[in-house]
Structure 1
Amino acid sequence: MFKPLAIFIGTRYTRAKRRNHFISFISLTSMIGLALGVLAMIVVLSVMNGFQKEMSSRILGMVPHATLSGVQPLDDWQPVAAAALKNSQVIAAAPISELEGMLSYRGGMQPIQVNGIDPRMESKVSIIGSHMQQGSLETLAPGEFGMVIGDITARRFRLNVGDKLTLIVPEISSAPGGITPRMQRFTVVGVFKVGAELDGSLALIDLEDAAQIQRWQPHQVQGVRLALKDLYQAPQVSSAIAAQLGEGYRADDWTHTQGSLFSAMKMEKTMIALLLLLIIAVAAFNIIATLVMVVADKRADIAILRTLGATPGLIMAVFMVQGTVIGLVGTLIGGVLGVLAALNVSNLIGWLERVTGQQILSSDVYFINYLPSDLQAFDVLLICSAALILSFLATLYPAWRASRTQPAEALRYE
């Protein structure tokens, strides 16, 4: 079978047993280092993708993807919801009223955001129904002033279903201070846990109870909450719907409340990827040392090839092939092992926990009790491409030095 001369000689140099075992050792360590760097980068980025996916599904499953509200409370939210559902990106819509205040229980206080919801429709736009630890959303009923609180709030005040606590909300008045507190007694009817900060900062009450606290009519709501197919389209979609509804409506979305968190996570992933890329770069540029020593070891061979008519370009190609083969094998091994490790890292950590008897991720400390992994083909392709490019660039200088070898000078003492 026909094979270009440069590839034939380059691959022969790669697999041939060298007289200088130190060169073989350096070549092997370069290959192993490259494989380990690729493996580590694939596993770490997959785990970070897994954490980001868990955070997105839990936090963004609880907070509104987007809301449409009026300058004044909405007397009829159904037409707004119907207009929103005409957009292909909108999955579901439900009424919502938001207010902020303080929870008080036996002298203890904490700030809280309270969402007034319709328990029958909340499951369409929120995941809270599947994260209830005690009670259920269906126990929220108009006029009974029931409240569903988060697990952190419940543990902080040592609350259980049936306990009573006080909600204090500010109210603008004509008093000298301009604001007077308005207090309402609530009964805990449920406790949820999504494993995030929302467990200590969010509470849910019935929609009509929220209207009564804000001195609205029972049928009035603040706005309409939307669930979208693509979360990252929320600003554009909500703004477009608000524009269609006309003046008097405004749009809000999750990027205003949770955007900084996910921007920080994205920045963290980028910085860790760059740091791990340095590991691959160190391993790849070890190929330079390997090829420089190979060139010095093969000076006589290079000189003989030159006297037989080999051009400098052919000599350069020979050593570029040799270095590229080292990089290709290391990247391939690291890529395969990295994919296997990323797919099984959750099971591996679970096995280590069972063997050692120690829990690495405790649900009391972290929002999940296992190590998530989300392997993405684009990440694997990007990592392997970067490793191959760095390996190829590392071959250029030694190959160029080899092509500059003068036959007469190399063979003078042979």
Structure 2
Amino acid sequence: MNVPLLIARRYFSSKKKRNIISIISNISMIGVAVGTMSLIIVLSVFNGLEDLVRSLYGKSDPDLLISAVQGKAFPVSPALLTRLSATPGVGLVTEVIEDNALLQYHDRQMVVKMKGVSNNYFAQSNIDSAIVEGDHRLNRNGEHYALLGAGVQHELSIALDNRFSPLRLLYPRNSGKKSFSITDLDNAFTQQNILAGGVFLIEQHIDDSYIFVPLDFAQSLLQYGNKRTALEVKVKNDEPVDDVKARLRKVLGKQFKVLDSDEQHVSLLKAIKVEKMFVFITFAFILLIASLNIFFSLSMLVIDKRKDVAILMAMGATSHIVRNIFLLEGAIVAMVGALTGLILGVTICWAQQTFKIVSMGMATSVVDAYPVKMQLVDIVLTGLAIVVITITVSIRPALAASRLDVRENL
């Protein structure tokens, strides 16, 4: 029989406990429950936001992105493409030329990110599912078309398939001159016209700045020749991305970077993880403050049960047993509160996932409700935090109880 646990349970459920001690214990349980519930909910929201970022960028991001370690562009030969395509696990390789360009439409203009892609791009990208107007095809009946972000279309009030007013893209010539006279301005830029063929809606940063054009159009405008700014790789369905990434790095050598989806947005995802860590630390301190009531209730319980402790010690109970009684008493109070908070937090997260109770409150939001995702690691970390906090606040009253003088308290 576990005597310390039995006595701790009797102290916890005893109706003869002094009223003030009972009130403080109940406040402790409520504080721990609310803190645990809040921590589970907030961490689940951060998990949902992380998954939302991945899903949003996944519509336009490749499985793997190859770029140069130094410089903006690198030469691409048919032999290199053949070698990459022959790498086990590689399903498709898309050539990409991406750079800033000046977009003009009527009397309006703005700087955009122009992304030229080869014809097989839409075989690996899901961006065609994000089309809200027009057609995603960049080549139709021998003509070039541009695919615009919704923000770019709105900023310049662009009409699709307007043959009388096509889009005009300008890019500085690489003439080697450091300055131009007024008479040279007409020759300072390469210019090409293209029709607007479709509009996509993915994520605000992309929608407000990107346009997609055929690779040969970008190659001609930017005068890149056989150079490319990136190669995008689609991995075969049955192949692990990390394994294919390792093989490509071995094939390409140290002159190239091979990035998976998370590494392509490492700054954004890292920012979410750092915010999640600080939120966890903040709520852990809130739990600690709420658990201070356990310290006060145990201290008062030790004072109230001095005679009982003295009798136990006179009957042969060691200081170790007495200490464990009050440690277990604090653990029971914290455990009841933590389990209550855990059940409430998981229930609220499940309800949000199922019924979308709390909306984002924005008409332009890409999701209707706040995304939540529960993870076992968050529950485990919350449990560990409660254990550490409970031991921290309970150890002093428990030690005080174990050091009571038997003769003075009998």
Instruction: Give the TM-score normalised by structure 1.
Output: 0.85
Q: Which residue of 2 aligns with 1:356?
A: none
1:106 aligns with 2:106: yes
Distance of 2:256 and 2:140 partners within structure 1: 29
Q: Which residue of 1 aligns with 2:183?
A: none
Distance of 1:320 and 1:105 partners within structure 2: 74
2:81 and 2:93 in contact (8 A); partners too: no
Listed as ranges, the gaps of 5+ residues in structure 1 are: 353-358
Cα deviation code 1:291-321 (max 9, x no counterpart) = 0011111111111112222111111111111
AA aligned to 1:304 is I
AA aligned to 1:388 is V
Quote the offset at 1:100 in angstroms: 2.1
Q: Which residue of 1 aligns with 2:198?
A: 190
AA aligned to 2:386 is A
1:314 aligns with 2:313: no
Quote the offset at 1:19 in angstroms: 3.9
Match of 2:82 among 73, 79, 90: 79
1:337 aligns with 2:344: yes
Q: Which residue of 2 aligns with 1:355?
A: none
3-state DSSP class of the match of 1:369? coil
Match of 2:170 among 156, 168, 171: 168
Cα deviation code 1:334-353 (max 9, x no counterpart) = 112211212222455x446x
Quote the offset at 1:384 in angstroms: 1.6
What CA RMSD, in Å, does the superposition of the two structures yield over aligned residues? 3.0
Q: Which residue of 1 aligns with 2:221?
A: 213
Q: Which residue of 2 aligns with 1:362?
A: 362
AA aligned to 2:404 is T
Identity in percent: 24
AA aligned to 2:52 is E
Q: Which residue of 2 aligns with 1:35?
A: 33
3-state DSSP class of the match of 1:172? coil
Q: Which residue of 1 aligns with 2:188?
A: 180
AA aligned to 1:118 is S
Distance of 1:378 and 1:229 partners within structure 2: 30
Distance of 1:62 and 1:338 partners within structure 2: 34
Cα deviation code 1:36-95 (max 9, x no counterpart) = 111111111111111111112212542444125673243466414314x42x5x564322
Match of 1:271 among 267, 271, 278: 278
AA aligned to 2:19 is H
Listed as ranges, the gaps of 5+ residues in structure 2 are: 181-186
Distance of 2:313 and 2:207 partners within structure 1: 74
2:310 and 2:404 in contact (8 A); partners too: yes
> More deviation in 12-21 or 43-52?
12-21
Quote the offset at 1:175 in angstroms: 4.8
3-state DSSP class of the match of 2:143? coil
Instruction: Give the TM-score normalised by structure 2.
Output: 0.86
3-state DSSP class of the match of 2:103? strand
1:142 and 1:207 in contact (8 A); partners too: no
2:145 and 2:195 in contact (8 A); partners too: yes
Structure 1 residues 292 and 145: alpha-carbon distance in aligned structure 2, compared to 1, 3 A threshold = same
Structure 1 residues 161 and 240: alpha-carbon distance in aligned structure 2, compared to 1, 3 A threshold = same
Structure 1 residues 113 and 80: alpha-carbon distance in aligned structure 2, compared to 1, 3 A threshold = farther
Distance of 2:140 and 2:121 partners within structure 1: 13
AA aligned to 1:26 is I
1:320 and 1:399 in contact (8 A); partners too: yes
Aligned residues: 393
Q: Which residue of 2 aligns with 1:287?
A: 294
Distance of 2:6 and 2:262 partners within structure 1: 57
Quote the offset at 1:275 in angstroms: 0.8
AA aligned to 2:188 is T
Q: Which residue of 1 aligns with 2:400?
A: 401
Quote the offset at 1:281 in angstroms: 1.4
Quote the offset at 1:154 in angstroms: 1.2
